[in-house]
Structure 1
Amino acid sequence: MRNSIKVFAPATVANVVCGYDVLGFAVNAPGDEVVMRLTETKGIIISKITGDGGKLPLSPEKNTVSASVQHYLNHIGKPDFGLDIELHKKMPIGSGLGSSSASTVAGLFAVNSLFDNLLTNQELVPFAMKGEELACGYGHADNVAPALMGGFVLIRSYEPLDIISLPHPEDMHAAIVYPEVDVPTKDARQMIRSKVLLKDAVTQWGNVAGLVSGLFMKDYDLIGRSMTDVLVEPTRAILIPDFYVLRQLALGAGAIGFGISGSGPSVFALTKDAETANKITEKLQSHLKGLAINSLSFVSEVNKKGPVILD
């Protein structure tokens, strides 16, 4: 058993427009890093957090990384096992890119690796969902599942948990822009209406089925015309400056489809290549700059690996 480990876990795009809480995919950048060391003292301590601007708790009971790792240790029968955890945030908090998920997944992958991979990455998902529950009040899996498993995933069911890896076109890229405005995940979730019209539900079901079919068939046109959300996006778009202008700019520059990443404020476009993705991020950032809004951009293929050991 090794004494220490350093792990990177990727950011994720959840929902993928029409798949609220059931679809997500991982990207190569950004992401978070966790350094974990064995200690002789019983229990978990978080000795350092960097890159968070002092926002995240050092208390093991309140931090998503340590809380989910504790659930894992309880499960394997080592509740008092001694661990020292460092969390290095390499991505913005509250960006809609699965910030809490990346941290939690890095921690779980690290502790599971220290114990010689007692569980598969997919079997770690329920423990990661505990971290999401602590972060935003609801243990959804559309960030943690792709962060752990890589690629595109479908959460077919939550009770019982049923997660399916989906194929995708090999040359597909994501163009992501994070406008630096505040959209707390809890607030964004509370805005969503609890009842929907049957005709809207039928439209959404068709789009989710179309998107999944398009991924299997590697049919960009079908993927694009399925990336429509009539249930959640109309509400969340209000929180994102000039969302519909940004969408038109992206589609005009060659995007297959465009939408909100997770609860926002990050937006993303799917493209057929890196060149188009870079062109889209430039156009979106230029428009946001004209609104006096700073932004960050990321261009990435779909991440197929999930978390990786760095040392």
Structure 2
Amino acid sequence: MSPIEKDSIHVFAPATVANMVCGFDVLGFAIDEPGDEVYMRRVDQPGVRLVNITGDEGRLPREAERNTVSASVLTFLQHIGQTDIGLEIELHKHMPIGSGLGSSAASTVAGLFAVNTLLGSPLSRKELLPFAVQGEALACGHGHADNVAPALLGGVTLIRGYDPLDVVTLPAPPELHASVVFPHVDVPTRDARQMIRTKVALKDAVTQWGNIAGLVAGLFTADYELIGRSMHDVLIEPTRAILIPEFYEMRRIAMESGALTFGISGSGPSVFAFTQSRDKAAAITNLIQAHLTERGIESNGYVSGVNTDGPKEINN
């Protein structure tokens, strides 16, 4: 065994906020928490086995070929020509399934980062990305990269194109913080995608292009006001907001409390606000959660800067 290879590894991969309001399927950023953890160890018996999953309430498949974590690992091993290796995988989910925070992406990225590191990092993080996209296709029927790219690469990512896959890492201004709230309501990703219009008016498309360009410019110049006024969606949010109880009231609370912008995380039901300080993000999180509690809706709240690290090895 090579000195740079390992016998076992423990990895954390972060949740992500996809779309960033105006960038449907092309923009996303990673946050510090929540996230998923994978334990992986080498064994003598060849094959990949998923030996334990916690935190999923029994919802995820246990068969290696059907679970995004182990299936992605199998594809990776086929690519590097090491199908005779023996691996046991434990997946510990610390983030809710169907939250709009990239739950499947975090699991897939944790598994791929773990196996790549375990075997001495034969591939770069960008070279791992296509395997992560395949994992997303298995999880939700659509191989998009706006969750897996920031989860794997960290920071803010732009998916410039899919054929071939072309991902650009964008700068994250240091004062940018996110208030993230996950209301405990069910908005399945597949259902949310099916509601999206397949044809849009040219004037709406022009508005959206201008907002995406403005957001990218704002990130490069750390122009927080430009970031805020660019993060508006005329194509997707008006439809998806219908599925999220109290969406417009949550947005009112956030904007009146000094948020730069407010929108849906991924397909929802999670929502997020950008602010220029952690304290303001924390205050907005508390206010939104208090409002949801008054309406009888439980929720999880998170406060984070933009996570520029992506997955990381945990030293036990």
TM-score (normalizing by structure 2): 0.97
Q: Deviations over 1:48-87 (max 9, x none)?
A: 0001111111101110001111111111011232110000
Which amino acid in 1 is paired with 2:9? I
In structure 2, the residue matched to 1:134 is 138
In structure 2, the residue matched to 1:28 is 32
1:203-282 superposed matches below 5 A: 203-282=207-286
SS class of match (1:177): strand
1:171 and 1:224 mapped to 2: Cα distance? 13
In structure 1, the residue matched to 2:46 is 42
1:78 and 1:154 mapped to 2: Cα distance? 32
SS class of match (1:236): helix
In structure 2, the residue matched to 1:100 is 104
Per-residue deviation at 1:244?
1.0
Q: Deviations over 1:160-203 (max 9, x none)?
A: 11100001211211000000000111111111111111111111
How many residues were matched structurally? 311
In structure 1, the residue matched to 2:163 is 159
Q: Which of 301, 304, 307 is the aligned partner of 1:300?
A: 304
Moved over 4 A (4+): none
In structure 1, the residue matched to 2:93 is 89
Is residue 2:86 matched to residue 1:73? Answer: no
1:183 and 1:42 mapped to 2: Cα distance? 39
Which amino acid in 1 is paired with 2:236? V
Per-residue deviation at 1:27?
0.4
SS class of match (1:153): strand
Which amino acid in 2 is paired with 1:74? Q
Which amino acid in 2 is paired with 1:204? Q
In structure 2, the residue matched to 1:289 is 293
Is residue 2:55 matched to residue 1:17? Answer: no
TM-score (normalizing by structure 1): 0.99
Which amino acid in 1 is paired with 2:247? F
1:187 and 1:45 mapped to 2: Cα distance? 31
Which amino acid in 1 is paired with 2:286? E
Determine what percentage of the aligned residue pairs are the same residue.
Answer: 64
1:124 and 1:191 mapped to 2: Cα distance? 31
Note the residue ranges of structure 1 that are not aligned, 5 or more in a row: none
Is residue 2:126 matched to residue 1:119? Answer: no
Question: Aligned-pair RMSD on alpha carbons?
Answer: 0.7
Note the residue ranges of structure 2 that are not aligned, 5 or more in a row: none
Is residue 2:57 matched to residue 1:59? Answer: no
Q: Does structure 1 conserve the Cα–Cα contact (< 8 Å) formed by 2:47 and 2:86?
A: yes
Out of 286-295 and 9-18, give the one that drifted further: 286-295
SS class of match (2:238): helix
Per-residue deviation at 1:286?
1.1
In structure 1, the residue matched to 2:187 is 183
Q: Does structure 1 conserve the Cα–Cα contact (< 8 Å) formed by 2:6 and 2:120?
A: no
SS class of match (2:115): helix
Q: Does structure 1 conserve the Cα–Cα contact (< 8 Å) formed by 2:68 and 2:136?
A: yes
1:227 and 1:2 mapped to 2: Cα distance? 44
SS class of match (1:53): coil
1:273 and 1:79 mapped to 2: Cα distance? 48
1:233 and 1:25 mapped to 2: Cα distance? 18
Which amino acid in 1 is paired with 2:305? E
Per-residue deviation at 1:231?
0.6
